[in-house]
Amino acid sequence: MRRLLGLATLVLVALAGSTSAWAQSLERISGPSPFPANCSAGQEGTLYTNAEVEPWVTANPRNSRNLIAVWQQDRWSNGGSQGNLTGVSFDRGESWTRPTPPPFSNCAGGNAANGGDYDRASDPWVSFGPDGSAHQISLSVSADQVTSAILVSTSRDGGRTWGPITTLQRNDTATLFNDKESITADPTNSRFVYAVWDRLQVQTPANPASPFSGDTLFARSTDGGRTWEPTRTILDFPDNSRILTLGNQIVVLGDGTLVNVMDLIQQGLPLVAVQRSTDKGATWSQPIIVDILFSSATQNQGGGVSGVVDPSDLHPVRTGDILPEAAADPRKGSDTLHIVWQDIRFTLAAPLPIFNDQIVLSSSTDGGLNWSDPRRVSSNKLTQAFTGSVDVNDRGRIGVTYYDFTSDDPSGGTLDTDYWATTARDENSTFSPRQRLTPQSFDMRTAPDAGGFFVGDYEGLTNTRNFLPVFVTANSGDLANRTDVFSSSFSASASSARSAKHKVVARVSNRQSLARLVKRAGAIQGPLRIR
């Protein structure tokens, strides 16, 4: 079996081809770590100096040449990084500078006086508003992860400088942990900015089997990030119910409706779900179920290997496997949005000991009330695809990016990994043939090991007509500089054929198919802290 798999991989490598003019060359955003060598002395865990992971990117709607990217700098093995850094471009990503970032951690200049007195920072996110103001958010934590806080800062000059930190939420007990936050500036009204995250409540933190729950918390600004309303709970679950959300992310539809996209985990069963608000976040609907989040990470039965792994030795590769990503059609009046996630339903029949995640997409054309059946976006069913990103440009074209191991020879050696892109005209079109964004494959084994080889739970993707991904690759074999953040660009006009309309069904009519998947879906055991 291993020999046949190796032969199949070599054939696929030959078919993969090289990067075409459809995609531009990579531009490095990150550089050597700016942090003092002793700024985190005495902390436990392995520190990967010069290792950057988990970027996000946003484009300025008032100046399409202005981009801001954020990422974790100097990743720790056991959660978080030395600090979150910022990159700024004023030429559509052809060159980047690294200004002084908000002091979200001690290494980045944080202290008790400026609100950044935390050992580590994680989960960077940034969003431009329609007035050109940019808003950045961080999960900042103590080294022992007893204290966790959600911090925000605003830039009024395209990312060159950043204003004071505002603390949206802080908890100083191990029984409450804030996690996986995101920030969204309302593209239809510059006064509104939204922050959302989950807060895990664990009865006995030292006991992995302890009862838990995880509410969704929300805060908003109504004056462009100058002040923030008090945090409130928009999904409140009973204590110890073993129900939680993860990866909350708000997108704003062209008609002004807010949709909060999340992984809703009910007694171990992960579901892609959404909440809606038609009054700028003042009130929220109950969750609407999109589909089962049927990734390899949820599988712990039937003899398969759980989660994305190195095919040669099954070492874990940490990916965005339980985190859906979303994007809304930005055209005025539109109520269309799209969600991508990792899913194994299209590869369950493969005779492999490894579940091959694929990137799938589901769309809604009525503001998130009803959803199409998931369709596969990634191309190679014979390998694992992971950490998908999605965006929609001002013509309604959809762009999707993801990693996979098409070029890898599973007999051993390096874990050759590539980053891919594909586009579709709209939700009713097939996706174009994928194009490789990495000029050459990189060795995932060089990436920092943080619960598995790790380049990020998510990667960035925005657009200025063309799509502009910001993502991490490993510097193969360079243990002193394991990873870097890069930007690229790929055309939004790559050909994609019109197809029969993908069926959008009401949830009530889709219950039978959901029920069949539930029978096959494994359960996530224990509380989750992503960090």
What's residue 187's pLDDT?
97
- Could you tell me if residue 173 is inside a domain? yes
- Could you tell me if residue 253 is inside a domain? yes
Is the pLDDT at 500 greater than 50? The verdict is: no
Distance CA 272, CA 220 (A): 24
Distance CA 258, CA 380 (A): 34
Is the pLDDT at 124 greater than 60? The verdict is: yes
Is the pLDDT at 502 greater than 60? The verdict is: no
Distance CA 427, CA 394 (A): 14
Average pLDDT on 451-460 reads: 98
| DSSP states along 67-129 | EEEEEEEEEETTS-EEEEEEEEESSTTSS-B-PPPP--STTTT--TTTT---SEEEEEEEEE-
Q: What share of the chain is helix, strand, coil (3-state, %, to 5)?
A: 5, 40, 50
Average pLDDT on 299-326 reads: 84
What's residue 498's pLDDT?
54
- What is the domain count for the chain? 1
* Residue range 195-253, pLDDT digits in tens: 999 999 999 998 989 999 999 999 999 999 999 999 999 999 999 999 999 999 999 99
What's residue 412's pLDDT?
75
- Could you tell me if residue 376 is inside a domain? yes
Q: Assess contact for 262 and 248: CB atoms under 8 A.
A: yes
What's residue 18's pLDDT?
40
Q: Assess contact for 183 and 193: CB atoms under 8 A.
A: yes
What's residue 499's pLDDT?
52
* Residue range 353-386, pLDDT digits in tens: 688 999 999 999 999 999 999 999 999 999 999 9
- Could you tell me if residue 269 is inside a domain? yes
Of 242, 239, 175, give the one whose Cα is nearest residue 204.
175
pTM: predicted TM-score of the whole model, two decimal places: 0.92
- Could you tell me if residue 242 is inside a domain? yes
- Could you tell me if residue 514 is inside a domain? yes
**Rounded mean pLDDT of the chain?**
90
- Could you tell me if residue 526 is inside a domain? no
What's residue 530's pLDDT?
72
What's residue 465's pLDDT?
84
Domain housing 207: 2-34+45-520
Provide the percentage of residues in the chain whose pLDDT is more than 90. 81
- Could you tell me if residue 39 is inside a domain? no
- Which CATH number goes with the domain that contains 411? 2.120.10.10
Q: Assess contact for 425 and 496: CB atoms under 8 A.
A: yes
